[in-house]
Structure 1
Amino acid sequence: MTALPLRDRVALVTGASRGIGAALALELAKRGAHCVLIARTQGGLEETDDAIHRATGKNATLLPFDLQKQEKEMDMIGPSIVERFGRLDILVHNAGALNKLTPVAHVDPRDWNELVAVNLTAAWRLIRSCDPPLRASDAGRAVFVTTGRVPRPKAYWGMYGATKAGMEHLVLTWAQEVANISPLRVNLADPGIVATRMRSLAMPGEDPATIAQPADVAPALADLCMPSEARTGARIEIARTG
Protein backbone atom coordinates (compact mmCIF):
# COMPACT_ATOMS: atom_id res chain seq x y z
CA MET A 1 0.00 0.00 0.00
CA THR A 2 1.39 3.40 -1.00
CA ALA A 3 2.13 5.71 1.93
CA LEU A 4 0.07 8.87 2.02
CA PRO A 5 2.49 11.82 2.20
CA LEU A 6 -0.01 14.12 3.95
CA ARG A 7 -1.42 11.56 6.36
CA ASP A 8 -2.47 13.09 9.71
CA ARG A 9 -2.07 16.63 8.36
CA VAL A 10 -4.89 19.17 8.44
CA ALA A 11 -5.45 21.47 5.48
CA LEU A 12 -7.68 24.54 5.26
CA VAL A 13 -8.85 25.39 1.73
CA THR A 14 -10.96 28.45 0.90
CA GLY A 15 -13.14 28.72 -2.18
CA ALA A 16 -13.54 24.95 -2.06
CA SER A 17 -17.08 24.59 -3.40
CA ARG A 18 -16.04 24.45 -7.06
CA GLY A 19 -13.27 25.06 -9.57
CA ILE A 20 -9.65 25.12 -8.47
CA GLY A 21 -10.47 25.01 -4.75
CA ALA A 22 -12.60 21.88 -5.08
CA ALA A 23 -10.05 20.14 -7.32
CA LEU A 24 -7.22 21.01 -4.96
CA ALA A 25 -9.13 19.82 -1.88
CA LEU A 26 -9.71 16.48 -3.60
CA GLU A 27 -6.03 16.21 -4.47
CA LEU A 28 -4.92 17.00 -0.91
CA ALA A 29 -7.40 14.47 0.48
CA LYS A 30 -6.07 11.80 -1.89
CA ARG A 31 -2.63 12.49 -0.45
CA GLY A 32 -3.95 11.86 3.04
CA ALA A 33 -4.79 15.30 4.42
CA HIS A 34 -7.95 15.99 6.36
CA CYS A 35 -9.46 19.00 4.62
CA VAL A 36 -11.41 21.81 6.24
CA LEU A 37 -13.34 23.41 3.41
CA ILE A 38 -14.59 27.01 3.29
CA ALA A 39 -17.02 28.52 0.79
CA ARG A 40 -20.26 30.47 0.84
CA THR A 41 -22.49 27.71 -0.49
CA GLN A 42 -23.33 24.64 1.60
CA GLY A 43 -24.44 22.72 -1.48
CA GLY A 44 -21.16 23.27 -3.30
CA LEU A 45 -19.17 22.20 -0.24
CA GLU A 46 -21.24 19.04 0.01
CA GLU A 47 -20.45 18.22 -3.64
CA THR A 48 -16.73 18.56 -2.92
CA ASP A 49 -17.13 16.42 0.19
CA ASP A 50 -18.95 13.76 -1.84
CA ALA A 51 -16.06 13.68 -4.32
CA ILE A 52 -13.56 13.32 -1.48
CA HIS A 53 -15.59 10.51 0.10
CA ARG A 54 -15.84 8.64 -3.21
CA ALA A 55 -12.08 8.88 -3.70
CA THR A 56 -10.87 8.25 -0.15
CA GLY A 57 -13.71 6.82 1.90
CA LYS A 58 -13.34 9.75 4.30
CA ASN A 59 -15.12 13.05 4.73
CA ALA A 60 -13.97 16.63 4.92
CA THR A 61 -15.03 19.20 7.50
CA LEU A 62 -17.35 21.78 5.93
CA LEU A 63 -17.40 25.41 7.01
CA PRO A 64 -19.95 27.55 5.12
CA PHE A 65 -18.53 31.04 5.44
CA ASP A 66 -18.83 34.40 3.70
CA LEU A 67 -15.40 36.03 3.62
CA GLN A 68 -16.93 39.41 2.82
CA LYS A 69 -19.66 39.51 5.46
CA GLN A 70 -18.01 37.55 8.27
CA GLU A 71 -14.67 39.33 8.50
CA LYS A 72 -14.40 39.41 12.30
CA GLU A 73 -15.38 35.75 12.63
CA MET A 74 -12.35 34.84 10.53
CA ASP A 75 -10.12 35.51 13.52
CA MET A 76 -11.51 32.35 15.13
CA ILE A 77 -10.95 29.98 12.19
CA GLY A 78 -7.39 29.03 13.11
CA PRO A 79 -8.04 28.62 16.84
CA SER A 80 -11.23 26.64 16.17
CA ILE A 81 -9.39 24.19 13.89
CA VAL A 82 -6.67 23.70 16.49
CA GLU A 83 -9.26 23.17 19.21
CA ARG A 84 -10.95 20.46 17.17
CA PHE A 85 -8.00 18.74 15.45
CA GLY A 86 -5.02 19.80 17.52
CA ARG A 87 -3.14 21.24 14.56
CA LEU A 88 -3.21 23.10 11.27
CA ASP A 89 -0.52 22.30 8.73
CA ILE A 90 -1.70 23.72 5.41
CA LEU A 91 -3.53 26.88 4.36
CA VAL A 92 -4.58 27.43 0.75
CA HIS A 93 -6.40 30.69 0.17
CA ASN A 94 -8.04 30.19 -3.19
CA ALA A 95 -11.25 32.19 -2.74
CA GLY A 96 -11.48 35.37 -4.75
CA ALA A 97 -13.92 37.72 -6.44
CA LEU A 98 -13.90 39.41 -9.84
CA ASN A 99 -17.04 41.55 -9.68
CA LYS A 100 -17.11 43.81 -12.76
CA LEU A 101 -14.63 44.62 -15.48
CA THR A 102 -14.80 48.40 -15.76
CA PRO A 103 -12.59 51.43 -16.37
CA VAL A 104 -10.77 52.53 -13.22
CA ALA A 105 -12.52 55.91 -13.36
CA HIS A 106 -15.92 54.18 -13.31
CA VAL A 107 -15.35 51.80 -10.39
CA ASP A 108 -18.32 51.82 -8.04
CA PRO A 109 -17.34 52.22 -4.36
CA ARG A 110 -19.51 49.27 -3.35
CA ASP A 111 -17.82 47.02 -5.91
CA TRP A 112 -14.42 48.27 -4.75
CA ASN A 113 -15.21 47.52 -1.10
CA GLU A 114 -16.40 44.02 -1.98
CA LEU A 115 -13.21 43.15 -3.83
CA VAL A 116 -11.00 44.63 -1.13
CA ALA A 117 -12.87 42.54 1.46
CA VAL A 118 -12.61 39.24 -0.43
CA ASN A 119 -9.28 39.56 -2.27
CA LEU A 120 -7.23 41.50 0.29
CA THR A 121 -8.77 41.80 3.75
CA ALA A 122 -9.68 38.10 3.89
CA ALA A 123 -6.04 37.19 3.19
CA TRP A 124 -4.88 39.42 6.05
CA ARG A 125 -7.42 37.98 8.48
CA LEU A 126 -6.55 34.40 7.51
CA ILE A 127 -2.88 35.15 8.11
CA ARG A 128 -3.73 36.61 11.54
CA SER A 129 -5.85 33.60 12.41
CA CYS A 130 -3.66 30.81 11.03
CA ASP A 131 -0.14 32.11 11.65
CA PRO A 132 0.36 30.52 15.12
CA PRO A 133 -0.63 26.92 14.26
CA LEU A 134 1.11 27.05 10.88
CA ARG A 135 4.31 28.17 12.56
CA ALA A 136 3.93 25.42 15.15
CA SER A 137 3.65 22.70 12.48
CA ASP A 138 6.86 20.87 11.60
CA ALA A 139 6.09 21.51 7.94
CA GLY A 140 3.57 24.36 7.77
CA ARG A 141 2.70 25.41 4.24
CA ALA A 142 0.66 28.41 3.08
CA VAL A 143 -0.31 28.97 -0.56
CA PHE A 144 -2.22 32.00 -1.84
CA VAL A 145 -3.71 31.76 -5.32
CA THR A 146 -3.05 34.86 -7.40
CA THR A 147 -3.37 36.04 -11.00
CA GLY A 148 -1.33 37.06 -14.00
CA ARG A 149 -3.13 40.40 -13.96
CA VAL A 150 -0.74 41.55 -11.22
CA PRO A 151 2.47 41.53 -13.31
CA ARG A 152 0.54 42.08 -16.55
CA PRO A 153 -2.07 44.86 -16.03
CA LYS A 154 -4.84 45.04 -18.60
CA ALA A 155 -7.51 47.62 -19.35
CA TYR A 156 -10.71 47.20 -17.30
CA TRP A 157 -9.08 44.72 -14.90
CA GLY A 158 -7.72 47.40 -12.54
CA MET A 159 -10.00 46.75 -9.56
CA TYR A 160 -9.30 43.00 -9.58
CA GLY A 161 -5.60 43.37 -10.31
CA ALA A 162 -5.05 46.03 -7.65
CA THR A 163 -6.64 43.99 -4.87
CA LYS A 164 -4.67 40.91 -5.86
CA ALA A 165 -1.48 43.00 -6.02
CA GLY A 166 -2.14 44.11 -2.46
CA MET A 167 -2.60 40.50 -1.43
CA GLU A 168 0.67 39.52 -3.07
CA HIS A 169 2.58 42.25 -1.22
CA LEU A 170 1.05 41.21 2.08
CA VAL A 171 1.82 37.52 1.57
CA LEU A 172 5.41 38.05 0.45
CA THR A 173 6.00 40.31 3.44
CA TRP A 174 4.65 37.61 5.76
CA ALA A 175 6.93 35.08 4.06
CA GLN A 176 9.97 37.19 4.95
CA GLU A 177 8.82 37.65 8.53
CA VAL A 178 8.57 33.91 9.22
CA ALA A 179 11.41 32.70 6.99
CA ASN A 180 14.12 32.33 9.62
CA ILE A 181 12.08 31.56 12.72
CA SER A 182 9.81 28.72 11.61
CA PRO A 183 9.62 25.75 9.21
CA LEU A 184 6.63 27.53 7.65
CA ARG A 185 6.87 28.08 3.89
CA VAL A 186 4.67 30.77 2.31
CA ASN A 187 4.22 31.09 -1.45
CA LEU A 188 2.03 32.62 -4.13
CA ALA A 189 0.69 30.42 -6.92
CA ASP A 190 -0.52 31.69 -10.28
CA PRO A 191 -2.41 28.82 -11.94
CA GLY A 192 -2.66 30.62 -15.28
CA ILE A 193 -5.73 30.45 -17.49
CA VAL A 194 -8.11 27.84 -16.09
CA ALA A 195 -11.73 27.02 -16.87
CA THR A 196 -13.41 28.37 -13.74
CA ARG A 197 -16.65 30.22 -13.11
CA MET A 198 -14.69 33.45 -12.68
CA ARG A 199 -13.01 32.91 -16.05
CA SER A 200 -16.37 32.31 -17.74
CA LEU A 201 -17.73 35.57 -16.30
CA ALA A 202 -14.75 37.49 -17.63
CA MET A 203 -14.58 35.72 -20.99
CA PRO A 204 -18.13 34.54 -21.79
CA GLY A 205 -17.34 33.73 -25.41
CA GLU A 206 -14.40 31.46 -24.63
CA ASP A 207 -14.75 27.70 -25.09
CA PRO A 208 -13.75 26.24 -21.70
CA ALA A 209 -12.68 23.00 -23.38
CA THR A 210 -9.78 24.85 -25.03
CA ILE A 211 -8.07 25.86 -21.77
CA ALA A 212 -6.72 24.11 -18.69
CA GLN A 213 -9.21 22.51 -16.29
CA PRO A 214 -9.05 22.79 -12.49
CA ALA A 215 -7.97 19.16 -12.21
CA ASP A 216 -5.04 19.93 -14.51
CA VAL A 217 -3.47 22.41 -12.09
CA ALA A 218 -4.49 20.80 -8.78
CA PRO A 219 -1.52 18.39 -8.54
CA ALA A 220 1.05 21.17 -8.97
CA LEU A 221 -0.75 23.31 -6.40
CA ALA A 222 -0.85 20.38 -3.99
CA ASP A 223 2.89 19.91 -4.47
CA LEU A 224 3.39 23.37 -2.93
CA CYS A 225 1.71 22.04 0.22
CA MET A 226 4.04 19.09 0.63
CA PRO A 227 6.63 18.89 3.43
CA SER A 228 9.27 18.56 0.71
CA GLU A 229 8.51 22.05 -0.72
CA ALA A 230 11.54 24.15 0.23
CA ARG A 231 10.74 27.43 -1.51
CA THR A 232 9.29 30.34 0.40
CA GLY A 233 8.45 33.90 -0.58
CA ALA A 234 8.15 32.82 -4.21
CA ARG A 235 5.64 33.68 -6.90
CA ILE A 236 5.18 30.43 -8.82
CA GLU A 237 3.44 30.18 -12.18
CA ILE A 238 1.76 26.79 -12.20
CA ALA A 239 0.59 26.75 -15.81
CA ARG A 240 0.18 29.13 -18.68
CA THR A 241 -2.26 28.53 -21.49
CA GLY A 242 -2.99 30.91 -24.34
Structure 2
Amino acid sequence: MTQHTGRIALITGASRGIGKACALGLAKAGAQVIACGRSKAALEELDDEIFAATGQHATLIPFDITDGDAMDRLSSVLFERFGRVDILVHAAAISGTLSPVTHHEPKDFEKIVSVNLSATWRLLRAMEPLLRQSAAGRAIFLTTGATVTTGRAFWGPYGATKAAMETLVRAWADEIEITPIRAAMVSPGAMRTRMRAAAYPGEEPESVPHPNEIVPLILTLADADRVPPLETIHFPDWRAQNADIVA
Protein backbone atom coordinates (compact mmCIF):
# COMPACT_ATOMS: atom_id res chain seq x y z
CA MET A 1 0.00 0.00 0.00
CA THR A 2 1.25 3.49 -0.91
CA GLN A 3 2.27 5.38 2.21
CA HIS A 4 1.44 9.02 2.90
CA THR A 5 3.01 9.50 6.31
CA GLY A 6 2.98 13.13 7.38
CA ARG A 7 0.95 14.37 4.41
CA ILE A 8 -2.09 16.56 4.98
CA ALA A 9 -5.20 15.23 3.22
CA LEU A 10 -8.53 17.04 2.91
CA ILE A 11 -11.55 14.99 1.85
CA THR A 12 -14.98 16.40 1.00
CA GLY A 13 -18.05 14.22 1.30
CA ALA A 14 -16.21 12.30 4.00
CA SER A 15 -19.26 11.41 6.08
CA ARG A 16 -20.21 8.40 3.95
CA GLY A 17 -19.60 6.40 0.80
CA ILE A 18 -16.51 6.94 -1.32
CA GLY A 19 -15.43 10.01 0.65
CA LYS A 20 -15.51 8.11 3.93
CA ALA A 21 -13.59 5.17 2.46
CA CYS A 22 -10.92 7.53 1.11
CA ALA A 23 -10.60 9.34 4.43
CA LEU A 24 -10.15 6.08 6.32
CA GLY A 25 -7.75 4.71 3.71
CA LEU A 26 -5.57 7.82 3.72
CA ALA A 27 -5.50 7.83 7.54
CA LYS A 28 -4.36 4.19 7.55
CA ALA A 29 -1.65 5.16 5.04
CA GLY A 30 -0.31 7.73 7.53
CA ALA A 31 -1.91 10.97 6.36
CA GLN A 32 -3.33 13.59 8.69
CA VAL A 33 -6.95 13.61 7.56
CA ILE A 34 -9.17 16.68 7.41
CA ALA A 35 -12.68 15.29 6.96
CA CYS A 36 -15.41 17.57 5.60
CA GLY A 37 -19.11 16.75 5.46
CA ARG A 38 -22.54 18.04 6.44
CA SER A 39 -23.23 15.56 9.24
CA LYS A 40 -21.28 16.13 12.44
CA ALA A 41 -22.46 12.80 13.85
CA ALA A 42 -21.32 10.89 10.76
CA LEU A 43 -17.93 12.61 10.86
CA GLU A 44 -17.56 11.65 14.51
CA GLU A 45 -18.29 8.02 13.59
CA LEU A 46 -15.58 8.26 10.94
CA ASP A 47 -13.17 9.68 13.50
CA ASP A 48 -13.90 6.77 15.83
CA GLU A 49 -12.98 4.37 13.03
CA ILE A 50 -9.81 6.30 12.20
CA PHE A 51 -8.74 6.37 15.84
CA ALA A 52 -9.43 2.66 16.26
CA ALA A 53 -7.32 1.89 13.19
CA THR A 54 -4.46 4.37 13.69
CA GLY A 55 -4.49 5.74 17.24
CA GLN A 56 -4.76 9.23 15.74
CA HIS A 57 -7.72 11.56 15.40
CA ALA A 58 -8.86 13.29 12.22
CA THR A 59 -9.65 16.98 12.01
CA LEU A 60 -13.42 17.22 11.53
CA ILE A 61 -14.98 20.10 9.58
CA PRO A 62 -18.79 19.83 9.54
CA PHE A 63 -20.13 22.35 7.02
CA ASP A 64 -22.22 22.68 3.87
CA ILE A 65 -19.93 22.70 0.85
CA THR A 66 -22.22 25.19 -0.90
CA ASP A 67 -21.38 27.81 1.76
CA GLY A 68 -18.69 29.73 -0.12
CA ASP A 69 -17.87 32.06 2.76
CA ALA A 70 -17.33 29.04 5.04
CA MET A 71 -15.04 27.57 2.39
CA ASP A 72 -12.91 30.72 2.41
CA ARG A 73 -12.76 30.71 6.21
CA LEU A 74 -11.72 27.06 6.11
CA SER A 75 -8.79 27.93 3.86
CA SER A 76 -7.55 30.50 6.36
CA VAL A 77 -7.96 28.17 9.34
CA LEU A 78 -6.12 25.33 7.61
CA PHE A 79 -3.26 27.62 6.63
CA GLU A 80 -2.87 28.75 10.23
CA ARG A 81 -2.99 25.20 11.57
CA PHE A 82 -1.19 23.14 8.92
CA GLY A 83 0.38 25.61 6.52
CA ARG A 84 -0.50 23.49 3.50
CA VAL A 85 -2.66 20.76 1.99
CA ASP A 86 -0.85 17.91 0.23
CA ILE A 87 -3.83 15.86 -0.93
CA LEU A 88 -7.33 16.99 -1.88
CA VAL A 89 -10.03 14.41 -2.59
CA HIS A 90 -13.30 15.98 -3.73
CA ALA A 91 -16.00 13.36 -3.35
CA ALA A 92 -19.00 15.50 -2.35
CA ALA A 93 -21.79 15.41 -4.95
CA ILE A 94 -25.52 14.90 -5.42
CA SER A 95 -27.39 13.28 -8.29
CA GLY A 96 -30.75 14.90 -7.63
CA THR A 97 -34.03 13.34 -8.68
CA LEU A 98 -33.84 11.27 -11.85
CA SER A 99 -36.44 12.79 -14.15
CA PRO A 100 -36.79 14.44 -17.56
CA VAL A 101 -34.79 17.66 -17.92
CA THR A 102 -37.90 19.86 -18.16
CA HIS A 103 -39.54 18.29 -15.10
CA HIS A 104 -37.00 19.56 -12.55
CA GLU A 105 -38.06 22.33 -10.23
CA PRO A 106 -35.78 25.39 -10.49
CA LYS A 107 -34.69 25.12 -6.86
CA ASP A 108 -33.71 21.47 -7.33
CA PHE A 109 -31.78 22.21 -10.52
CA GLU A 110 -29.96 25.08 -8.83
CA LYS A 111 -29.07 22.83 -5.88
CA ILE A 112 -27.39 20.31 -8.20
CA VAL A 113 -25.46 23.11 -9.92
CA SER A 114 -24.46 24.55 -6.56
CA VAL A 115 -23.16 21.29 -5.11
CA ASN A 116 -21.57 19.71 -8.17
CA LEU A 117 -20.19 22.72 -10.02
CA SER A 118 -20.15 25.97 -8.08
CA ALA A 119 -18.78 24.32 -4.94
CA THR A 120 -15.97 22.78 -6.99
CA TRP A 121 -14.96 26.24 -8.19
CA ARG A 122 -15.06 27.61 -4.64
CA LEU A 123 -13.03 24.63 -3.46
CA LEU A 124 -10.35 25.19 -6.11
CA ARG A 125 -10.23 28.87 -5.30
CA ALA A 126 -9.88 28.22 -1.57
CA MET A 127 -7.48 25.27 -1.69
CA GLU A 128 -5.06 26.25 -4.45
CA PRO A 129 -2.98 28.50 -2.15
CA LEU A 130 -2.66 25.62 0.32
CA LEU A 131 -1.80 23.09 -2.38
CA ARG A 132 0.87 25.47 -3.65
CA GLN A 133 2.58 25.20 -0.27
CA SER A 134 2.99 21.44 -0.77
CA ALA A 135 6.09 19.97 -2.38
CA ALA A 136 3.79 17.71 -4.40
CA GLY A 137 0.14 18.70 -4.19
CA ARG A 138 -2.35 16.19 -5.55
CA ALA A 139 -6.01 17.04 -6.24
CA ILE A 140 -8.38 14.16 -7.05
CA PHE A 141 -11.93 14.72 -8.24
CA LEU A 142 -14.69 12.11 -8.40
CA THR A 143 -16.77 12.33 -11.58
CA THR A 144 -18.98 9.95 -13.55
CA GLY A 145 -18.97 7.94 -16.77
CA ALA A 146 -19.03 9.37 -20.29
CA THR A 147 -22.47 7.90 -20.95
CA VAL A 148 -23.80 10.35 -18.36
CA THR A 149 -21.64 13.40 -19.09
CA THR A 150 -22.40 13.24 -22.82
CA GLY A 151 -26.15 13.08 -22.23
CA ARG A 152 -28.29 10.29 -20.81
CA ALA A 153 -32.05 10.34 -20.29
CA PHE A 154 -33.13 11.37 -16.78
CA TRP A 155 -29.56 12.23 -15.71
CA GLY A 156 -29.48 15.67 -17.37
CA PRO A 157 -28.58 18.08 -14.53
CA TYR A 158 -26.19 15.62 -12.87
CA GLY A 159 -24.44 14.79 -16.14
CA ALA A 160 -24.26 18.44 -17.19
CA THR A 161 -22.73 19.56 -13.91
CA LYS A 162 -20.20 16.74 -13.88
CA ALA A 163 -19.21 17.51 -17.49
CA ALA A 164 -18.79 21.16 -16.55
CA MET A 165 -16.77 20.18 -13.48
CA GLU A 166 -14.42 18.13 -15.64
CA THR A 167 -13.91 21.10 -17.98
CA LEU A 168 -13.24 23.38 -15.02
CA VAL A 169 -10.70 20.99 -13.50
CA ARG A 170 -8.89 20.46 -16.81
CA ALA A 171 -8.63 24.22 -17.34
CA TRP A 172 -7.30 24.66 -13.81
CA ALA A 173 -4.80 21.83 -14.28
CA ASP A 174 -3.52 23.52 -17.44
CA GLU A 175 -3.14 26.81 -15.58
CA ILE A 176 -1.10 25.35 -12.71
CA GLU A 177 1.07 23.12 -14.89
CA ILE A 178 4.22 25.02 -13.86
CA THR A 179 3.55 24.28 -10.17
CA PRO A 180 4.10 20.98 -8.30
CA ILE A 181 0.30 20.50 -8.15
CA ARG A 182 -1.21 17.75 -10.27
CA ALA A 183 -4.90 16.94 -10.76
CA ALA A 184 -6.64 13.66 -11.49
CA MET A 185 -10.23 12.61 -12.15
CA VAL A 186 -11.79 9.26 -11.32
CA SER A 187 -15.04 7.76 -12.54
CA PRO A 188 -15.93 5.12 -9.90
CA GLY A 189 -18.53 3.29 -11.98
CA ALA A 190 -21.19 1.30 -10.15
CA MET A 191 -20.40 1.36 -6.45
CA ARG A 192 -22.22 0.52 -3.22
CA THR A 193 -23.21 4.04 -2.14
CA ARG A 194 -26.37 5.77 -1.00
CA MET A 195 -26.47 7.72 -4.27
CA ARG A 196 -26.34 4.48 -6.26
CA ALA A 197 -29.04 2.89 -4.11
CA ALA A 198 -31.35 5.86 -4.67
CA ALA A 199 -30.85 5.67 -8.43
CA TYR A 200 -31.19 1.87 -8.63
CA PRO A 201 -33.49 0.84 -5.75
CA GLY A 202 -33.96 -2.71 -7.05
CA GLU A 203 -30.26 -3.48 -7.35
CA GLU A 204 -28.68 -5.99 -4.98
CA PRO A 205 -26.00 -3.99 -3.08
CA GLU A 206 -23.61 -6.92 -2.96
CA SER A 207 -23.55 -7.01 -6.78
CA VAL A 208 -21.44 -3.84 -7.01
CA PRO A 209 -18.04 -3.02 -5.45
CA HIS A 210 -17.76 -1.58 -1.95
CA PRO A 211 -16.23 1.93 -1.77
CA ASN A 212 -13.22 0.46 0.05
CA GLU A 213 -12.14 -1.11 -3.22
CA ILE A 214 -11.36 2.27 -4.80
CA VAL A 215 -8.94 3.27 -2.02
CA PRO A 216 -5.78 1.73 -3.57
CA LEU A 217 -6.37 3.81 -6.71
CA ILE A 218 -6.82 7.00 -4.69
CA LEU A 219 -3.63 6.29 -2.71
CA THR A 220 -1.74 5.74 -5.96
CA LEU A 221 -3.00 8.97 -7.52
CA ALA A 222 -2.09 10.89 -4.37
CA ASP A 223 1.48 9.58 -4.39
CA ALA A 224 3.99 12.45 -4.30
CA ASP A 225 6.43 10.46 -6.43
CA ARG A 226 4.04 9.83 -9.30
CA VAL A 227 2.45 12.15 -11.83
CA PRO A 228 -1.19 11.12 -12.30
CA PRO A 229 -2.73 11.21 -15.79
CA LEU A 230 -5.20 14.04 -16.38
CA GLU A 231 -7.50 11.90 -18.51
CA THR A 232 -10.35 10.45 -16.48
CA ILE A 233 -9.50 7.10 -14.92
CA HIS A 234 -12.36 4.61 -15.02
CA PHE A 235 -12.14 2.55 -11.87
CA PRO A 236 -13.68 -0.65 -13.33
CA ASP A 237 -10.93 -0.70 -15.98
CA TRP A 238 -8.21 0.10 -13.45
CA ARG A 239 -9.58 -2.55 -11.10
CA ALA A 240 -9.42 -5.21 -13.79
CA GLN A 241 -5.80 -4.32 -14.53
CA ASN A 242 -4.76 -4.18 -10.87
CA ALA A 243 -6.79 -6.96 -9.28
CA ASP A 244 -3.84 -7.96 -7.13
CA ILE A 245 -3.79 -4.69 -5.15
CA VAL A 246 -7.52 -3.93 -4.86
CA ALA A 247 -8.71 -4.30 -1.28
Q: Name the aligned partner's letter for residue 76 of structure 1.
A: R
Q: Which runs of 5+ in 1 are unaligned?
A: none
In structure 2, what is the equivalent of residue 109 of structure 1?
Answer: 106
Whole-angstrom CA distance in 2 between matches of 1:218 and 1:101: 28
In structure 1, what is the equivalent of residue 192 of structure 2?
Answer: 195
In structure 1, what is the equivalent of residue 50 of structure 2?
Answer: 52
CA deviation after TM superposition for structure 1 residue 237, in Å: 1.1
Aligned length: 237
Q: Deviations over 1:34-83 (max 9, x none)?
A: 01001000111011111111111101000001123x22221222221111
SS of alignment partner, residue 212 of structure 2: helix
Whole-angstrom CA distance in 2 between matches of 1:229 and 1:150: 29
Q: How does 1:130-209 map to 2 (within 5 A)?
A: 130-148=127-145, 149-151=147-149, 153-179=151-177, 181-209=178-206
SS of alignment partner, residue 65 of structure 2: coil
In structure 2, what is the equivalent of residue 119 of structure 1?
Answer: 116
CA RMSD after TM alignment: 1.6
Find 1:8's aligned residue among 6, 9, 20. Answer: 6
The answer to whether the 8 A contact 2:86-2:136 is kept is yes
Find 1:215's aligned residue among 212, 216, 231. Answer: 212
- Provide the TM-score with structure 2 as the length reference: 0.92
The answer to whether the 8 A contact 2:148-2:155 is kept is no
Q: Which runs of 5+ in 2 are unaligned?
A: 240-247
CA deviation after TM superposition for structure 1 residue 153, in Å: 2.9
Q: Name the aligned partner's letter for residue 7 of structure 2.
A: R
- Provide the TM-score with structure 1 as the length reference: 0.93
The answer to whether the 8 A contact 1:17-1:38 is kept is yes
Q: Name the aligned partner's letter for residue 92 of structure 1.
A: V
Q: Name the aligned partner's letter for residue 93 of structure 1.
A: H
In structure 1, what is the equivalent of residue 243 of structure 2?
Answer: none
Whole-angstrom CA distance in 2 between matches of 1:5 and 1:221: 12
Q: Deviations over 1:169-222 (max 9, x none)?
A: 10011011111x211111111111101000000000000101011011122122
Find 2:24's aligned residue among 23, 26, 29. Answer: 26
Whole-angstrom CA distance in 2 between matches of 1:116 and 1:222: 28
